[in-house]
A and B are shown apart, each in its own frame.
Chain A
């Protein structure tokens, strides 16, 4: 049985000034993956390859069991896709868009679409050009959700929204997602957005996947150790340290594989562990990217 909704293997795509390199990505069915990367890291290119809109130079991509891009039409019949650069037709009403999508997707759920209209506080008879940016994002989400997709792909849907609209969109999206089991790939450079809705996290930087794991495991294994070293003592040599900050006497170690025996190891080497800090997803992402870039430049 294939329990992966998305499976990338050795996928590469070369552009004149950017290369997506050897992307391996597995999205198990039923999970929500946050796909995090800085602007220009390769998130949108990866998602476009996933959707069959860009053809990979190398590697294989399977989406819902369909090889891409060969069977993109069949795969897209089961995908709901909303991207930051997606616009609806300004001269047409939301109702027309709903009718248009309903004529294409046999699983279109009209009662659900109407309930989303109410939940998102949208008016079907309103023309798209009269909607605010936040309302347009909600309209695009409604059109994606009501087709009852097996896979929902959201490419930076909250980018460009003001904080209030972003909060509203995310809140409503979370409420909708809580309703049932869905497989979702949610890309963003905003780690706070991703942290709220994802159970799996993948980081991408400069065209490469740099880390991928369960969100809780991520949050569990990344820690900051604040140490106090006696004068003239050397920094304890520990495995899994990705960054060293602070001062000579008060070093701050960032680890991506925290274990409780690290504390005793520090004590044994003469250091005092002043604090063990949990890290936010944003801190983890930044530390991950920085440590990888430092390793690359060494």
Chain B
């Protein structure tokens, strides 16, 4: 693996997506401010907007860095560089993960800070928020996998929709797991075995999705 070429490709995408990341951070900060405004309605609206911002940035990155690369025929330029498809795949997975983690981490940490510091919010909510934030990471990894394998806008949009539906389904079921539901309203943070299991399962799903995508793409024979 030529790591310096992987780095070059990642820096290229970082440069081309830098305004997207900046805009998502700014929009995220606004949503956190709405949440903090104290009004209950503003809290829910802010939360909804925050989730929308995080999901949108992941979807936008996947479409811009992979699907549009084929659609706008810049893939031919990239593949003319001294790289193999294995290196291209590694660069795409890593750059999507790294770029997405910037706003994701900032906004997740911001949410944690609000739960822990803002008056009136039970600290017991934190495990549930962590699980749901990680679910968004799972959903984004799924979108990245589909975008990379299919290079198709249609399939990627379908993956975005499926990811969003999955987020709602997971949110509902996790909120109804007894040990998680019971501790959500507590004044202290309490990690139940079920909560830890769901979180570990989510990280395992991310590793499996991205690992499988890398394995599949590395065996691909025709790139253009």
Q: Which residues of A contact B (CB under 8 A)?
A: 48, 51-55, 72-77, 79, 81, 83, 85-92, 96, 100, 103-105, 140
Number of interface residues of B (CB under 8 A): 22
A79 and B2 CA atoms in complex are apart in Å by 17
- A74 contacts across to B, CB distance below 8 A: 82
The interface residues of chain B lying within 8 Å CB-to-CB of A76 are 80-83
CB distance from A58 to the nearest CB of B (A): 13
Q: Which residues of B contact A105 (CB under 8 A)?
A: 82
> Is B77 in contact with chain A by the CB < 8 A criterion?
yes
B5 within 8 A of A: yes
Contact, CB under 8 Å: A77 / B82 = yes
| Chain B hits for A103, CB < 8 A | 8
A83 x B76 contact (CB < 8 A): yes
Q: Roughly how many angstroms separate A178 CA and B15 CA in the complex, as a whole number? A: 37
B221's nearest neighbour on chain A, judged by CB, is A55
Nearest CB in chain B: distance from A8 CB, A: 17
CB-nearest residue of chain A to B74: A87
Residues of B within 8 A of A55 (CB): 221-222
Binary per-residue interface labels of chain B (64-87) against chain A in the complex, 1 for a CB within 8 Å, 0 otherwise:
000000001110110111111001
Q: State the Cβ distance, A176 to closest chain B Cβ, in Å.
A: 19
**How far apart are A253's CB and chain B's nearest CB, in angstroms?**
43
**Chain A residues within 8 Å of B82, by CB:** 73-77, 104-105
Bound-state Cα–Cα, A85 to B79, Å: 12
Chain A residues with CB below 8 A from B223, complex form: 53-54
Minimal Cβ-Cβ distance residue in A for B222? A54
Q: Give the chain B neighbours of A140 by CB distance below 8 A.
A: 77
Contact of A88 with B224 at beta-carbon distance under 8 Å, contacts A76-B81, A104-B81 already known: no
Is the Cβ of B74 less than 8 Å from the Cβ of A100?
Answer: no
Alpha-carbon distance A220/B224, docked complex (angstroms): 38
11 A-B residue pairs with Cβ-Cβ distance under 8 Å, sorted by A, are: A54-B222, A54-B223, A73-B83, A75-B82, A85-B73, A85-B76, A86-B76, A87-B76, A89-B74, A92-B15, A104-B5
| B5 with A96: CB separation less than 8 A | no
Given contact pairs A54-B221, A77-B82, A140-B77, enumerate 4 new A-B contacts (beta carbons under 8 Å): A73-B84, A86-B80, A100-B8, A105-B82
Which residues of chain B are within 8 angstroms of A53 by Cβ–Cβ distance? 79, 222-224
- Chain B residue numbers with a CB within 8 Å of A91 are 16
Residue of B nearest to A100 (CB): B12
